[in-house]
A = this chain, B = another copy of it.
Amino acid sequence: MQLLNPMVRKLEGFTRLSDVERTFLQEVTGLARRVEARTTLISAGDEPSGALLILEGLACRYMQRKSGRRQILALLIAGDTCDFESFRRDRMDHSIETLSPCRIAWITPETNGRLQQHPNLGSASRTSAQVNEATLHAWMMNVGARTAVERLAHLFCELYVRYRVVGQTQGQSYELPLRQTDLAEIAGLSGVHVNRSLQELRHKQLIELRNRRLVILDWSGLQTLAEFEASYLHVKNANLISIDAPLKEVKTEAVMPGQLSAFAEGSLGTVQIRRPLRH
């Protein structure tokens, strides 16, 4: 079997799931298909007939102007779903596209109906929708009220937490298969300016970014610069603590790709459930 379904990890970050529910999610996962990078999954104007679940890779929602300029509205990472709640929407107002090679499960309305009947799954998926909205708020704040450097810093913080939840961080680093152009479309900037802003972040010893891998050199510095507050991501305290702790201890020490911190989640290829702690 493959890596534990990231959706299980994500939803368990919101609520405790029963074995039945966990199994149900695993089943849904079975019907996955591979899609290459830069593939349009859903176009604006389509009538969405179901939902999709990202199992691996990175995708995005975006809108585009007539000029071709596009704005990325959200990033979808492993464990993220979209359009669970939007079967009633007659036309998509935005499009969805893969940014890296992905593995994706299509979820039919019926499957979704069954999912909603499992009490914890229903609850968790609604929480997930809340988090999506809060994330949009954070992005709006980013684009509307932060400088270029701050926007990137905030994005990197957010992604670190999100990847961590689904076990896709290695120490203080994670794989980030985005071009600078993509970052520009996320942050509402030009590609050139993203390049220069990245240099500033590197110069400040906050991050490293090369070969599609982002290393956070100074988590608290990055957080402070971005005024990042993880609470909107709804990660439970137990998990948040495990995020902060190791980072404070090895604050300025770079962690190489593949190296695992003492608190590391299961490495790729290992099946390991992080049991949510309840007080």
A residues apposed to B, CB below 8 Å? 61, 63, 65-66, 69-71, 73, 85-86, 88-91, 93-94, 123, 126-127, 129-130, 133-134, 136-141, 143-146, 187-188, 227, 231-232, 234
Contacts and interface: CB of A to CB of B under 8 A. Distances in A.
Nearest to A188: B144
Contact of A137 (B73, B130, B138, B188): B73
Contacts of A130: 85-86, 88-89
Count of this chain's copies in the oligomeric assembly: 2
A188 B141 CA distance: 9
A257 to B, nearest CB: 31
A25 B65 CA distance: 39
A137 B88 contact: no
Given A88-B123, A126-B88, A130-B86, A137 B65 contact: no
7 contacts: A63-B137, A63-B145, A93-B134, A93-B137, A93-B232, A140-B143, A145-B188
A120 to B, nearest CB: 12
A90 B131 CA distance: 11
Nearest to A69: B145
A231 B93 contact: yes
A65 B130 CA distance: 21
Given A139-B140, A140-B140, A145-B188, 12 more contacts: A65-B145, A66-B227, A69-B145, A71-B140, A71-B145, A85-B129, A86-B130, A88-B123, A89-B130, A90-B234, A94-B137, A133-B136
Contacts of A85: 126, 129-130
A145 B93 contact: no
A23 B144 CA distance: 41
B227 A65 contact: yes
Nearest to A70: B145
Residue from A69, A89, A129, A234 with most neighbouring chain B CB atoms (10 Å): A89
Residue from A91, A137, A140 with most neighbouring chain B CB atoms (10 Å): A140
B66 A141 contact: no
The 4 closest A-B pairs by CB, nearest first: A144-B188, A71-B145, A71-B144, A143-B144
A74 to B, nearest CB: 9
Contacts of A137: 61, 63, 73, 93-94, 136
A36 to B, nearest CB: 26
A73 B143 CA distance: 11
